[in-house]
Amino acid sequence: MSSQQTHDPASQLRKTALNAVHRKLGAKMVDFGGWDMPVEYSGLIAEHMAVRTGVGVFDVSHMGDILIIGKQALAAVQHISMNDASKLQIGQAHYSALLYPQGTFVDDVIVHKLGENDYLLVINAGTREKDWNWVRQNVSRFNCHPKEVSDYYTQLAIQGPKAVDVMRKLTDVDLDSVKGYWFKYGTVCGIPNTMVARTGYTGEDGFEIYVPSDEPTSERVWNEVMEAGKEFGIIPCGLGARNTLRLESKMALYGHEISDTINVWEADLGRYAKMDKGDFIGRSALEEAKAAGLKRILVGLEMIERGIGRDGYKIVDDAGNQIGEITSGSPAPFLKKNIALAYLPPAMSAIDTVVNVEIRGQKVRAKVVPTPFYKKPKKAVVSG
Amino acid sequence: MAFPADYRYTKEHEWIKVDGDTGTIGITDHAQDSLGDIVFVELPKTGSDVEAHKAFGTVESVKAVSELFSPVSGTVTAVNDDLATAPEKINSDAHGSWMIKVKLKNPAEANSLMSAADYEKFVAEES
């Protein structure tokens, strides 16, 4: 019934090892930060709902990976990232960011402590080269060795309340012992020493696995995940659902909520900036910025009149003067509301403050609401 | 892909079905497929004028906004209010989900638009 949209092969775009699989599944492909990636397969809403209520799988192999290895690896990581990596235990990960000396963002990252002198930074796809250059330059004075290993791995994210049931069929890792933001190594789909991390970008329980990036292995693992997930209703999910899922959960996206012109306090990510851990790049600027006071802060908005506020739309006062801007806005498929993240002056950031979003020249009312918009339900602890 | 033979089509992916001096307008199945899950439709009021090749409304999916362009000039005589509460009908039946009916200024105007065969070719070349 539906007409297939077959974009040109986009030969200049980079491809993951699963590109042919996505195309065979009839995914709509888009250029995402220079990558030819699936934006949706069966439909964005169905994919979003699968992750909230069941399980979905994403190819996130476009994400970048940087290893920092050596005697002073910890000191190097502490220098280039704002969270306190000295608090990490082996097998633990945390959210952090690489900052410019101005206290603004090079990128946000997940730092994994693989071993005593061994750290893995998972970075964004669109910022791979920039991040790598930044890391390489800034760790050079430490006794450590940075290594760009992005292309070694096919990274799959299996996400949703039933992700654990799917993974249980595929690995010998004791998944119940892997808490959120922890990881273990084990055999996955017959591949030994595979990293299984309880991480994701959906606000839901789930896992990310890192397998060798050759096409036959990548395709085999993808197919085995799909097969194991069949009884739980697993479906492949694209970047469209990934975006709405992370938005409902108020997770930042580089180039939207965070960028080289937005600082940590403005982005409301101050809880991840450990100012007392010792010096790090951006720290002194952050201290000054805090003392000077904020000019804008990231807030959650919910449309109260009919209309959808979207990325880049202006927030205006009653006279039509711009007072802020939406960084990400969309219908929220699970919440069934039109939501947005936006920068507003602190004086306008209190919950229930009503503001105007300018939509095609019209003022449409929205109000400031608590975030995250969506929080995953607490699971009852089952013992035994 | 079956595009009804008795409709005419625009390059912006609207369809029009002409009966006498009335034109019924919607978007094509190709358009709905490109947009994805449709969640919002903004249409003009009955009695307002639309102009050929000019925007008459908006359709939004979860991820995109798209303007609706009128295939012809005329006056809106009816609006499909069902789409305000059930815009997803456009996804399931684009060629049956009309948006507006228009009293045509010039009933011959639609003849210059693409036939189903031409449109099918156009879509194949565009993608």
Q: For A60-117, what is each residue's pLDDT tens digit?
A: 999 999 999 999 999 999 999 999 999 999 999 999 999 999 999 999 999 999 999 9
Interface mutation vs chain B, best among A1, A3, A242, most B CBs within 10 Å: A3
Is the bond into A372 cis (omega within 30 degrees of 0)?
Answer: yes
Contact assessment for residue B33 and residue B41, using Cβ atoms and an 8 Å cutoff? no
The CATH class, in words, for A64-148 is alpha beta
Q: For A305-335, what is each residue's pLDDT tens digit?
A: 999 999 999 999 999 999 999 999 999 999 9
B121 at A interface, C-beta within 8 A:
no
In sequence order, which residues have a C-beta less than 8 Å from that of residue A52 and are 6 or more positions away? A160, A161, A204, A245, A334, A374
Counted across chains A and B, CB pairs separated by less than 8 A come out at 52
A20: its two tokens: 């042919």
In sequence order, which residues have a C-beta less than 8 Å from that of residue B28 and are 6 or more positions away? B3, B9, B13, B14, B15, B94, B95, B119, B123
- Averaged pLDDT, B99-115: 96
Q: Is the pLDDT of residue A384 over 70?
A: no
Among the partner-chain residues B39, B63, B123, the one whose CB lies closest to the CB of A240 is B63
Angle between helices A128-139 and A73-80 (to 10 degrees): 120
Q: For B5-17, what is each residue's pLDDT tens digit?
A: 999 999 999 999 9
Give percent of chain A with pLDDT exceeding 90. 95
Does an H or E element contain A227, and which? helix A215-229
Q: Is the pLDDT of residue A224 over 50?
A: yes
Coil, helix or strand at residue A354 = strand
Query: Which pLDDT does position A102 carry in this prediction?
Result: 98
Q: Band of the pLDDT at A9, cuts 50, 70, 90?
A: low
CA distance, residue B29 to nearest chain A CA (Å): 7
Enumerate the domain spans of chain B: 8-106
Query: Which pLDDT does position A20 carry in this prediction?
Result: 98
B57, closest residue in chain A (CA to CA): A360
- Averaged pLDDT, A195-204: 98
Give percent of chain B with pLDDT exceeding 70. 98
Q: Is the pLDDT of residue A379 over 90?
A: no
The CATH class, in words, for A9-56+152-248 is alpha beta
Nearest to A201 by CA among A368, A27, A60, A25: A60
Q: How far, in Å, CA of A249 to CA of A257, rounded? A: 13
Q: Is the pLDDT of residue A177 over 70?
A: yes
Q: Band of the pLDDT at B1, cuts 50, 70, 90?
A: low
Q: For A339-366, what is each residue's pLDDT tens digit?
A: 999 999 999 999 999 999 999 999 999 9
Give percent of chain B with pLDDT exceeding 90. 95
Q: Is the pLDDT of residue A289 over 50?
A: yes
Give B-chain residues touching A306 at CB under 8 angstroms.
Answer: 40
Among the partner-chain residues B29, B61, B127, the one whose CB lies closest to the CB of A7 is B127
Q: Is the pLDDT of residue B109 over 80?
A: yes
CA distance, residue B21 to nearest chain A CA (Å): 31
With an 8 Å Cβ cutoff, are B33 and A2 in contact? Answer: yes
Enumerate the domain spans of chain A: 9-56+152-248, 64-148, 295-369
Nearest to A256 by CA among A313, A302, A306: A313
What does pLDDT average to over chain A? 95
With an 8 Å Cβ cutoff, are B61 and A44 in contact? Answer: yes
Q: Which has more confidence, A358 or A383? A: A358
Contact assessment for residue B72 and residue B105, using Cβ atoms and an 8 Å cutoff? yes
Among the partner-chain residues B60, B61, B123, the one whose CB lies closest to the CB of A3 is B123
Q: How far, in Å, CA of A56 to CA of A161, rounded? A: 10
B77 at A interface, C-beta within 8 A:
no
A27 at B interface, C-beta within 8 A:
no
Phi first, then psi, for residue A257 (nearest 5°) are -75, -30
Coil, helix or strand at residue A236 = strand
A55: its two tokens: 């399980």
Q: Band of the pLDDT at B53, cuts 50, 70, 90?
A: very high
Q: For A31-62, what is each residue's pLDDT tens digit?
A: 998 999 999 999 999 999 999 999 999 999 99
A193: its two tokens: 């020493």
Range in A6-10, A146-150, B11-15, B105-109 the model is least confident about = A6-10
Q: How far, in Å, CA of A371 to CA of A309, rounded? A: 17
Q: Is the pLDDT of residue A11 over 70?
A: no
Among the CATH numbers 3.50.50.60, 3.90.1580.10, 3.30.360.10, 2.40.30.110, which is that of A295-369?
2.40.30.110
Query: Whole-structure pTM over 0.90, yes or no?
Result: yes
Query: Which pLDDT does position A37 carry in this prediction?
Result: 97
Q: Band of the pLDDT at A381, cuts 50, 70, 90?
A: low
Q: Cα torsion at A108, A314, A243, A109 (round to 10°)?
A: 0
In sequence order, which residues have a C-beta less than 8 Å from that of residue A53 and are 6 or more positions away? A160, A161
Residues of A (272-311) whose Cβ lies below 8 Å from B: 306-308, 310
Query: Which pLDDT does position A380 carry in this prediction?
Result: 60
CATH T-level fold of B8-106: OB fold (Dihydrolipoamide Acetyltransferase, E2P) (2.40.50)
Q: Band of the pLDDT at A1, cuts 50, 70, 90?
A: very low
Q: Is the pLDDT of residue A279 over 60?
A: yes
Q: For A228-260, what is each residue's pLDDT tens digit?
A: 999 999 999 999 999 999 999 999 999 999 999
With an 8 Å Cβ cutoff, are A44 and B123 in contact? Answer: no
Dihedral sign computed on CA atoms, order A169, A174, A180, A183:
negative
